[in-house]
Amino acid sequence: MKSRPALQPLDEFPGSLAQKVYMSLKQAILSLTFRPGEIMQKSEICEELGVSRSPVAEAVARLSAEGLVNVVPQAGTFVARFSMDEIREGAFLREALELAAVEIVAQTITDEQLVLLKRNLRVQEALMQDGDIPGFYQMDAQMHELILSFTGYKRLAILADTAWVHVNRARRLNLPTPGRIEATLNEHRAIVAALEARDAQAAREATKHHLRQLVKLLEPLVDQRPELFDNA
């Protein structure tokens, strides 16, 4: 009998059946419901989600292409362990995209867009006070998505999310760290304050500082949690 938390129900996701299965499994991997190195039992997944093996196999193939699972012939499907090389590369790509974006947004942001960002910050603060880590994480991601969307470039958020996928999963290890949520919120406030001041340079520096904290925090985990990392 499985001891992990339940997978999100398929009716919470849009799209075809295979898309729903893919999103449910991806969310479970990103949220560490499936731990790095853990074997994914397809029969259990089929039973839990109430689907046949075909959409599960299709979902696993997509997750494999994204580097989130490793399919080992004659052995099974395993959740990929973390790789600091992939984390550093993803952080580098995401930083390049976000710094370019925030510089543009600082020069074009509207009062209505600032209202959205400030509202997001207020929700982040409430979630922090409530100790709702998953909720805080969701609003954190939404804030970054808002800033990227304000550029007007429709594919930018998709590119950033793809670059960030390995960092996105690893960062869950740090959110319970005492003081990290408070520090993250303050970093977010600095970004929004720079955007409100229409100061492109300050917005770049605040964003750069914020994004670089994560890799700094993840580096020690290679020694502290070697079972979660490749070649550790």
Domain that holds residue 63: 10-79
Q: Domain check: are 51 and 117 in the same one?
A: no
Boundary residue ending a domain (23, 48, 79):
79
The answer to whether position 29 is within a domain reads: yes
Q: Domain check: are 92 and 197 in the same one?
A: yes
Reported as a single tens digit per residue, the pLDDT across 147-174 is 999 999 999 988 998 888 888 888 877 6
Please check the confidence at residue 74 and state whether its pLDDT lies above 90. Answer: no
Distance from CA of residue 86 to its chain's centroid? 14
The answer to whether position 60 is within a domain reads: yes
Q: What is the pTM of this model?
A: 0.82
Q: Domain check: are 147 and 65 in the same one?
A: no
Q: Domain check: are 139 and 66 in the same one?
A: no
Domain count, the chain: 2
Q: Domain check: are 188 and 96 in the same one?
A: yes
Q: Domain check: are 95 and 68 in the same one?
A: no
Please check the confidence at residue 191 and state whether its pLDDT lies above 90. Answer: yes
Reported as a single tens digit per residue, the pLDDT across 86-130 is 899 999 999 999 999 999 999 999 999 999 999 999 999 999 999
222 — pLDDT class (breaks 50, 70, 90) = confident
The answer to whether position 42 is within a domain reads: yes
Please check the confidence at residue 83 and state whether its pLDDT lies above 70. Answer: yes
Please check the confidence at residue 198 and state whether its pLDDT lies above 50. Answer: yes
